[in-house]
Amino acid sequence: MKRTLYVSAATAVVLVAGGPVAVAAAATADTARTVTSAAAVPGDVTAEAAAAAALKKYPGVVESLDLDGTVWHVDVISKDGKGHAELEVAADGTVTEENRDTDENAAEHKDLIAAKVTAEQAMKAAVAAHPGQVTTVEWDNDDNSAYYWHVEVKGADNKTWDGRVDATTAKVTTSTDSDSDSDSDSNDDDNN
């Protein structure tokens, strides 16, 4: 009985004396975790990594990929052309499925699925033509039904470079420099 009393008394002394220290240590650990996660640089995930993460979540073919702030919006078409998923890839690589459709018209996606040049290959070709970070890649065609990838690359000078990458040859067919650092949404009317 005396032994239990001594152990209880000793425990109480340790808790009283060590309590504030334990609370401070715990608070410091929480602050360290918060600072570390908040210190993540926006856009840590590249376009290529966002595409890979999206395809891991929803296998298929990337139809479009666009950086909006720190989040990548990725549209993926299933390999049979009947499925479509809208995904978001956060700066830390986390993938969230925003929408999924399983009754797409496969005929509408046959050219994308059969394309010799994928979105990933188009990004590589665009960066080879103009070094920088890809901010947008979109499957598109002109009035003559010639399919291509529209790719935007932001250079080290913060200028946005627009290019078309042929869906058969991966050849960059047009490019222009622009002082604009806006996203592709402002250019949608020009490209449709």
| pLDDT tens by residue, 141-175 | 876 678 999 999 999 999 999 999 999 999 997 65
Token digits for 161?
């470079």
Q: For residue 26, which phi and psi values (nearest 5 degrees)?
A: -65, -40
Q: Which pLDDT value is given to residue 156?
A: 92
At what angle are helices 47-57 and 119-129 packed, to 10 degrees?
180
Torsion of CA 124, 130, 136, 140, to 10 degrees: -80
Residue 104 CB partners (closer than 8 Å, separation 6+): 77, 78, 81, 82, 83, 84
CB 77 within 8 A of CB 109: yes
- Measuring CA to CA, how many Å separate 153 from each of 10, 19, 178, 181? 66, 55, 11, 10
The CATH code that applies to domain 47-191 is 3.10.450.40
Mean pLDDT of the chain: 76
CB 45 within 8 A of CB 72: yes
Q: Which pLDDT value is given to residue 141?
A: 81
Write down the domain spans for the chain: 1-39, 47-191
Look up residue 192 and give its amino acid. N
Q: Assess whether pLDDT exceeds 80 at residue 116.
A: yes
Token digits for 185?
């949404």
Beta strands in 90-159 (DSSP E): 95-101, 133-141, 147-154
